[in-house]
Homo-oligomer: A and B are copies of this chain.
């Protein structure tokens, strides 16, 4: 009865990849850096985005797309309060964003007026790893209280990222977390990937992250079209 499942899933993934290519072309044409932020629920996606907005808002024009599984606008409201345009995508229980949802949300912004588009994916370490959104950079936010074994348990999402943020380092004195064991797991899956240890609470490490992000915006803008 369910033997059609795999071909159908493949068709969905292929259709998604084509839409993702279109999104990438739109972002490239407007020289807008698109970053897709993935994480477990509660790792600090929203806090990191708010800290990034606060640091960069004077220099760069930013917009945010918020993925949520329910029609609550808690995060989108925070972005608007921080002074940036935000659109919420409600996945109606779905465990990830896809390129089709993103394309619809993107149409609500004037890309010519932006430098940076931040996409906050649904809180999930499994599903978002499978769906290309056309973003230039995929970021994973891990957090200290989640534990140091997550690269070993959720390898797929660690493989597909261009940078890793390790948030809540202010909690290192209070929870068991072996930073070297964590780093070894990451390195095995994604050799040389840049890791930013940060604390959104204390501000530690945010400078390096913000500078790196500014560099990536600059690299995109200086690329011949």
Chain A interface residues (CB < 8 Å from chain B): 1-2, 4-5, 8, 11-12, 15, 40-42, 68-70, 72, 74-75, 93-95, 122-127, 129-130, 143, 145-147, 149-150, 152-156, 168, 170-171, 174-175, 201
Contacts and interface: CB of A to CB of B under 8 A. Distances in A.
- Number of identical protomers: 2
Contacts of A127: 95, 126-127
A53 to B, nearest CB: 19
A152 B76 CA distance: 14
Contacts of A153: 41, 68-70, 72, 74-75, 123
Nearest to A148: B42
Contacts of A70: 152-156
B15 A8 contact: no
Contact of A125 (B12, B124, B152): B124
Closest 4 CB pairs of A and B: A42-B146, A145-B145, A95-B126, A42-B147
A143 B154 CA distance: 19
A66 to B, nearest CB: 11
B41 A93 contact: no
A156 B4 CA distance: 27
Contacts of A69: 126, 153-154, 156
Contact of A123 (B15, B125, B130, B175): B125
A2 B149 CA distance: 37
B5 A4 contact: no
Nearest to A75: B153
